[in-house]
Amino acid sequence: MSALLLGDLAPDFEVDTTSGPLRFHEAIDGHWAVLFSHPKDFTPVCTTELGMTARLKDEFDKRGVKVFGVSVDPIEDHHAWIGDIAETQGVALNFPLIADPARTVASLYGMIHPNASDTFTVRSLFVIGPDKKIKLKIEYPASTGRNFDEVLRVIDSLQLTAKHQVATPANWTSGDDVIIVPSLNDEAAKAKFPDGWKTLKPYLRLVPQPK
């Protein structure tokens, strides 16, 4: 299968998880979702990532985001690993961890990179919109843990730009000024942003973040 691209429909699948069996499209219906892979159970970096994700549950919940982890190990290993996560990270797993021993999900989402490893997944992360289309994908090597502040930042940007005709500048965080998209001319922008904006160039117009 060719690599998934931004805007592609996220592949559907049926799997067993630590929260029971699920069909992916049914589970995320009407919500934003994060699907992220882990090279293997009982590995140090993965353990810290799953603990961090569990600690951020309130942050994902307030954004309406459902989170799903995936590892190529069987469900029995997942359940045993949960105890280690709770013991070492001080938090219980509170989202589904998908068992993918047949590499079904890993193959559908291109999570196995043969030149890195033909057995284990890289650290792939997909943000999927309520329309079930892929909005973002980030890939890390197996040795580098993810920056979850960045994951939340990008979700904030994606959700904001999905509702308003704006883009977010470099290093933007929620509350900073945003950019009016060039496709919105000044006349249309006046109706949408009646309090005005700051023009740096005709194509670069800054406006306070819409509420």
Q: Which of 10, 28, 46, 207 is catalytic?
A: 46
Place of tokens 């999570």: 111
- Mind spelling out the 3-state secondary structure of 109-155? CCCCCCCCCCCCCCEEEEEECCCCEEEEEEEECCCCCCCHHHHHHHH
Helices (H), 133-211: 148-163, 186-192
200 vs 193: CA distance, rounded Å: 16
Place of tokens 């590995």: 43
In the residue annotation, 46 being an active-site residue is answered as yes
Q: Taking a C-beta distance cutoff of 8 angstroms, is the pair 120, 112 a contact?
A: yes
| Residues with catalytic roles | 46
